[in-house]
Amino acid sequence: MGDLDLILKRSPKYMKAICEMGDLNLTLPPDFDGSIETYVKFGSLEVDDSIDYRSEENRIVVGEGKASELFVVCNMGDVEITRTE
């Protein structure tokens, strides 16, 4: 219960973030290349306009989408994905 801010300084190979209740803010590194599988039950998903991505069902693909694999689950709250400059 509460908000979760994850600021990634470099791209992980694999990461799973689960937020049961509260907002989740994920900040990607500038050179992020990977896919983010998102599951938001009661809330909204927002991706910053500065991120060049394509959407495939529940998956957000940035770049080629092969270097990193992230899973973001939020049952009750909003998810915001941004990028550091």
pLDDT tens readout for residues 12-31: 999 999 989 999 999 999 99
The pTM (predicted TM-score) of the whole model is: 0.90
- The CA distances from residue 15 to 7, 37, 44, 49, 50, in Å, are 12, 10, 21, 23, 22
pLDDT in tens, the chain (85 residues): 788 999 999 999 999 999 899 999 999 999 999 999 999 999 999 999 999 999 988 999 999 999 999 999 999 999 999 999 8
